[in-house]
C-alpha cells in the first residue's frame, strides 16, 4: 500500500495550478439539484510524491502554496486505498466521489479520451462507469 496524504500532513501546490479551468460538479441532494465549481490542482507531498487534486489555500511562499491538511479537508480514494484526492469545500455539500471523477474527465475532453484509449476504454461512457466503480463512495473526513 502506498503512502497516502492524511490529516496533519503538508502538501505543496504550485501557483500556476490555480489558473486551471474550474470543473463544475453537479449532483442531487435531498431531491434538489446542486452545482459547485472546483479548481483542480496537482499537489505534492513533502516527500515529493502523491499527485492529486486540491484547491488553493493557506500559506504562500515563492511560487508555491504550502497547505496543512486538517479536518476542513475531505478526501476520496479508490477501493485499494492506493490513490487519494483532496477536496476543500462546504461540508453541507455531499457529492459522491464519482461526481469529481466524471467532471474532471468531461473537463479534460480530448486529452482524457486519449488517455482512456491507452488504458483500453473505448468511449466516455466506459470511463464514467469505471470512475463510478473507482470512486463511488461519499467523500470521507480525516
Average pLDDT, stretch 103-129?
Answer: 59
Confidence of residue 69 (pLDDT cuts 50, 70, 90): very high
Task: Report residue 37 as a C-alpha cell.
Answer: 465549481
Q: How far apart are CA 118 and CA 64, in angstroms?
A: 32
The pTM score is 0.62
pLDDT at 48 over 50: yes
Residue among 9, 16, 5, 122 at smallest CA distance from 66: 9
Q: How far apart are CA 64 and CA 83, in angstroms?
A: 23
72's CB contacts (< 8 A; 6+ apart) are: 88
Determine the straight-line distance between the first and last CA of the chain, rounded to whole angstroms: 18
Amino acid at each position: 500500500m502506498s503512502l497516502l496524504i492524511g490529516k496533519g500532513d503538508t502538501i505543496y501546490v504550485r501557483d500556476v495550478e490555480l489558473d486551471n479551468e474550474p470543473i463544475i460538479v453537479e449532483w442531487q441532494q435531498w431531491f434538489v439539484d446542486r452545482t459547485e465549481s472546483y479548481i483542480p490542482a496537482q499537489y505534492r507531498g513533502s516527500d515529493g510524491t502523491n499527485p492529486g487534486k486540491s484547491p488553493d489555500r493557506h500559506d504562500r511562499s515563492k511560487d508555491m502554496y504550502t497547505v496543512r491538511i486538517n479536518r476542513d479537508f475531505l478526501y476520496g480514494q479508490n477501493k485499494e486505498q492506493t490513490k487519494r484526492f483532496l477536496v476543500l469545500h462546504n461540508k453541507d455539500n455531499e457529492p459522491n466521489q464519482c461526481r469529481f471523477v466524471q467532471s474532471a474527465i468531461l473537463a479534460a475532453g480530448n486529452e482524457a479520451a486519449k488517455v482512456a484509449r491507452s488504458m483500453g476504454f473505448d468511449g466516455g461512457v466506459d470511463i464514467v462507469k469505471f470512475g463510478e466503480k473507482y470512486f463511488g463512495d461519499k467523500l470521507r473526513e480525516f
